[in-house]
Structure 1
Amino acid sequence: MSSAVEAAISCSKVDVPAAPEPEEAKAKNAAAEHGGDAANGEATPPPPHCHEDEEDEEEAPKVIDLGPRVSIKDQLEKDKDDESLRRWKEQLLGSVDLNSVGETLEPDVKIMSLSILSPGRPDIFLPLPVEPNAKGVWFTLKEGSPYRLKFTFSVSNNIVSGLRYTNTVWKTGLKVDRAKEMLGTFSPQLEPYTYVTPEDTTPSGMFARGSYSARTKFLDDDRKCYLEINYTFDIRREWPSTS
C-alpha cells in the first residue's frame, strides 16, 4: 500500500464529539454524585466529620469500595454451615452480644477517659466531656518530662476500622507539633478498650516554656469523627503542686 493511500485512510478517521448531555440527565448525575435522589429531590446527609486540618486533606486515605456495609448479625449468619469459617469469625469478633448490636450498620465509639502518665507522678485525668466554650488551662506539664497518653473507649453496633488519634499543637499562633497514632480496628464488646501511646518527652528550654493551644481528634477510616477537643495547656519549669 502506497504512502499516499495510507495518508488518505488516516485522514478519513474523524473524532466525533459526544452529544451534549440533556439537562435532565445532568441533574440526575449531579444528584447521584452528591448521594441524593434526583427524582425525589432528596439528598443523603454526609457522615459527621472533624474540623478539617490541612494535613487531614493531604493525608486523606484513598477510599476503597468494599461493597455495602453489613451488620455483625448478618456477618455471623453468612456461611454458618462452614464450621471453620464460623469459628474464625467468632475469634475475630470476640464476645459480641448480638442482642446489643442488632441490625445496626454504623459503628459507634465513645471516648470514656483520657489521662497522661508520667513516671514518678500521679496520673493526670482529663475531664470529659469538655465544655464547648471552656476557658483556662486544661493541664500543665513539666519541661523535659517523659509521658504517655492513655485512652479508654467503648465500641458498639459494628466494627470500627482504622480508629486513629491526631493532635495538632500551636504556640503563639504557629504550628509547632503534630502527632498521629493509629489505634487499630476494633469489634463491639461490653468491656471498654484501653490504649497507651509510646513514650514521648515534653520540649525543654526557655523557648519551650509557656502556653500552647491544641486540637485532638479521634476518627476512623471513613473520616467519621467521634471526638474533637480544642484546649490549652502549659509547659512550665516544674510540675504544678498536687496539694
Structure 2
Amino acid sequence: MSGEPEVTRTPEEEEEEEIKSSYKPPPEKTIDEILAADQEDESLRKYKEALLGEAQAGAVIVDPNDPRRVIVKKLALCVTGRDDVELDLSGDLTDLKKQVFVIKEGVQYRIRIDFIVQREIVHGLKYVQKTYRLGVPVDKMTHMVGSYPPKTEIQSYTTPPEDAPSGMVARGSYSVNSLFTDDDKNVHLQWEWCFDIKKDWKD
C-alpha cells in the first residue's frame, strides 16, 4: 500500500501548534519607540502617555532579581456569593497538586490570574487551560488576555464565566494544565492544579 506515512506529533508539538495565532502579531516595540512615534499628533501622544503611565518614566522593575517580564503570582477561582479560593503561583509549583479546589456541580465560575509586568510591554498574552479526567482530556479553553505595559502594581485577567459540569457522571477529580504564554511563544508560567466536582460545596 503506497502513500505518505502518518505523522505522529508529540504533545509538545501539538501544544505549540494549538497556541499559534491565526494572525501575524505586530512587531514588538519598546516603550521608547512607542512614545517616539506620532509625536506630531498631540492627542495621540497624550493618549499614549496616559496609557503607559509610570512606564514612560523608565523601565519599571518590580523584582530586579527576576529577569522575567511577566511574573504570574496567583490563580483564583471566583464564584458569585462565595470567597475567592486562591492558589499561590509564586512558590513551589509542585505543591499545587496537594491543594484541591472543590466546585459544586453546575455552578458558574470564573478564573482570575494575577500577574506583574515589568521591564517592557508584553504583547498578546494568552491563557491556555486543558482539563483532564483520569488522564483523558475533557476540555480546553484559550483566552486572549491582551497586551500590558509594565506597572509596579499587580494586574489581573478574569476569564468569562464557565459552567461546571453536573450530574453523577461528572462528579469526581480533575487535573488541569495551565499555560500563560504570548504572541512570541514565551512561556511565562506553566503549572498543574486539581479540582473536585461534588454534589455540594461541603459534600
TM over 0.5: yes
Residue 127 of structure 1 corresponds to 88
In structure 2, distance between residues paired with 1:141 and 1:91: 40
Q: Note if contact 1:107-1:160 (Cα within 8 Å) is conserved in structure 2.
A: no
In structure 2, distance between residues paired with 1:59 and 1:150: 20
Structure 1 residue 60 displacement after superposition = 1.3
Unaligned stretches of 5+ residues in structure 2: 1-10, 62-66
Q: Does 1:143 align with 2:105?
A: yes
- AA matched with 1:194: S
In structure 2, distance between residues paired with 1:89 and 1:240: 49
- AA matched with 1:124: V
Residue 8 of structure 1 corresponds to none
State the 4+ residue runs in structure 1 displaced beyond 6 angstroms.
none
For the structure 1 residues 66 and 126, does the alpha-carbon distance in structure 2 shift closer, same or farther, using more than 3 Å as the test? closer
Structure 1 residue 97 displacement after superposition = 4.7
Corresponding residue pairs, total: 187
For the structure 1 residues 187 and 216, does the alpha-carbon distance in structure 2 shift closer, same or farther, using more than 3 Å as the test? same
**Match of 2:165, SS?**
coil
**Rg (Cα) greater in structure:** 1
Higher relative contact order (CA 8 A, sep 6+): 2
**Match of 1:52, SS?**
helix
**Match of 2:34, SS?**
helix
Unaligned stretches of 5+ residues in structure 1: 1-50
Q: Percent identity?
A: 37
Q: Note if contact 2:131-2:174 (Cα within 8 Å) is conserved in structure 1.
A: yes
Structure 1 residue 193 displacement after superposition = 1.6
- AA matched with 2:59: S
For the structure 1 residues 169 and 200, does the alpha-carbon distance in structure 2 shift closer, same or farther, using more than 3 Å as the test? same
Residue 110 of structure 1 corresponds to 71
In structure 1, distance between residues paired with 2:123 and 2:158: 18
- AA matched with 2:199: R
Structure 1 residue 84 displacement after superposition = 4.3
For the structure 1 residues 115 and 58, does the alpha-carbon distance in structure 2 shift closer, same or farther, using more than 3 Å as the test? closer
1:236 paired residue among 182, 186, 198? 198
**Match of 1:133, SS?**
helix
Deviations 1:171-204 (A, max 9, x none): 1121100011111111122232222221111101
Residue 16 of structure 1 corresponds to none
- TM-score where L is the length of structure 1: 0.66
Q: Note if contact 2:73-2:88 (Cα within 8 Å) is conserved in structure 1.
A: no
Root-mean-square deviation (Å): 2.8
- AA matched with 1:52: E
In structure 2, distance between residues paired with 1:152 and 1:196: 9
Deviations 1:97-123 (A, max 9, x none): 533349xxx971112222111122221
**Match of 1:114, SS?**
strand
**Match of 1:93, SS?**
helix
Instruction: Map 1:13-162 onto structure 2 (within 5 A).
Output: 52=12, 54-61=14-21, 64=24, 69-78=28-37, 80=39, 83-101=42-60, 108-134=69-95, 135-162=97-124
